[in-house]
Amino acid sequence: MVSPVPSFDVERLAQGIRLGDRTVLSRAITLIESKRADHRATAAALTQTLLQATGKAVRVGITGSPGVGKSTAIDALGSMLTRQGHKVAVLAVDPSSWRTGGSILADKTRMARLATDANAFIRPSPASGTLGGVAAKTRETMLLCEAAGYDAVLVETVGVGQSEVAVADMTDFFLVLVLPGGGDELQGLKKGVIELADMIAVNKADGDTLARAKRTAAEYGAALHILAPASPNWSPPVVTCSALQGDGIDALWSYILDHRQRLTASGELAARRGAQQVKWMWAMLEERLYAPLRSDRAVKAALPRIEADVAAGRLAPATAVEKIADMLGL
């Protein structure tokens, strides 16, 4: 049962979040994820109230193919940071979770150290929604975590396709993890993902795979030289690491901090975040405009018939759009 509106008191929630109360933070995120119109208004008021307390965290996006050791890498990096006195939040963007149940809950069990770390907070993506909606909710969750004192936010893409772009559009640094797979792995990774990368890390560089990992890193380095860097202030490095052994994890963080320092000094980080805020606004607006298609009973009842008529050629797509728009009063 959804909590009644009075339980979501903006000032009380904001105060609890500023104090770092994890229970209050979780309740506030539940509010953020709610689809109720009254909750949506309260959530907007909450994020506006906390806005000045956000923006100080290092935001890192992390992606990689299945089996690359993403959860292990996040667990190793996050645990290293909490040992250094940081507070770490791990969030997920998974537009496929409504079909599959998502993998972040299983990943949480594989993040054995972070899952029990008092200075870490792991939160899955919303259970359903479009990519734009899920990404917008994750952005809002990120702001709440920053207001709660989490100074390192690791945003994991556990979905496919455009989720990498969504994560890159909400973070400062985009880390792509790859396997020691030589040319086959290089061919399998989408060019678009390479273009998004601020760093490529070849994971599982240990034991018998160490030499292969170094060769793979050299191949990725050569591929990156062909592409024009996305930033005039940063050339994406290619490194090797072993998340399982903990080797090279400190170097990953050093690169992330170096990147942050360079982009801050040039003003690029502030400009990038400003552009991200605008994209966030449009994503939320599109989600709001699309919401009636999912909530209006008359439209939901009519859509299967309209779709069938379009598929059978009995109704032109443009005419179908006009019919749906009329039903929504647009």
Please write the tens of the pLDDT for every residue from 26-65.
999 999 988 787 888 899 999 999 999 999 999 999 998 8
238: closest CA among 221, 223, 255? 221
Are 329 and 298 in contact, with CB atoms under 8 Å apart? no
Asked if residue 272 belongs to a domain, the reply is: no
Burial class (CB in 10 A: 0-12, 13-18, 19+), 130: middle
Burial class (CB in 10 A: 0-12, 13-18, 19+), 109: exposed
Dihedral of CA atoms 38, 43, 44, 50 in degrees, nearest 10, equals 150
Residue-wise pLDDT for 256-274, tens only, equals: 999 999 999 999 999 999 9
Residues 87, 4 share a domain: no
Question: Can you tell me whether residue 258 is helix, strand or coil?
Answer: helix
- Residue that wins the pLDDT comparison between 322 and 183: 322
Asked if residue 276 belongs to a domain, the reply is: no
Are 26 and 38 in contact, with CB atoms under 8 Å apart? no
Q: What pLDDT is stored for residue 99 in this prediction?
A: 43
End-to-end CA separation in angstroms for the chain: 32
Residues 186, 150 share a domain: yes
Q: What pLDDT is stored for residue 27 in this prediction?
A: 93
Which CATH number goes with the domain that contains 184?
A: 3.40.50.300
List phi, psi (to 5°) of 170: -120, 5
Residue-wise pLDDT for 129-140, tens only, equals: 666 667 778 899
Residues 42, 12 share a domain: yes
Whether 126 has a pLDDT exceeding 80, the answer reads no
Residues 175, 126 share a domain: yes
Buried/exposed 174-190: b ≥16 CB within 10 Å, e otherwise: bbbbbbbbeeebeeebe
Residues 208, 174 share a domain: yes
Asked if residue 271 belongs to a domain, the reply is: no
Calculate the alpha carbon distances from 109 to 18, 65, 132, 245 in Å. Answer: 28, 19, 27, 18
Specify the range with the lowest mean pLDDT, choosing from 17-26, 87-96, 163-172, 231-240.
Answer: 87-96
Q: What percentage of the chain's residues is helix, strand, coil (to nearest 5)? A: 60, 10, 30
Residues 288, 214 share a domain: no
Count up the domains in the chain and report the number: 3
Average pLDDT, the chain: 86
Q: What pLDDT is stored for residue 305 in this prediction?
A: 94
Whether 200 has a pLDDT exceeding 90, the answer reads yes
Give the domain range for residue 305: 281-328
Which pLDDT band, with edges at 50, 70 and 90, does 85 fall under?
A: very high
Residues 208, 92 share a domain: yes
Q: Which amino acid is at 292?
A: P
Residues 116, 39 share a domain: no
Radius of gyration in angstroms for the set of CA atoms belonging to the chain, rounded to a whole number: 21
Residues of the chain with pLDDT > 70, as a percent, come to 86
Separation of alpha carbons 9 and 84, rounded Å: 34
Q: What pLDDT is stored for residue 73 in this prediction?
A: 95
Separation of alpha carbons 175 and 24, rounded Å: 30
**For residue 301, what are the contacts with CB-CB under 8 A and spacing of at least 6?**
none
Residues 86, 49 share a domain: no
Which pLDDT band, with edges at 50, 70 and 90, does 12 fall under?
A: very high
* In 75-131, beta strands by DSSP E: 88-93, 120-123
Separation of alpha carbons 74 and 90, rounded Å: 8
Q: Could you tell me the pTM of the whole model?
A: 0.86
* In the chain, beta strands by DSSP E: 58-64, 88-93, 120-123, 152-157, 173-178, 199-202, 238-240
25: closest CA among 156, 152, 135, 145? 145
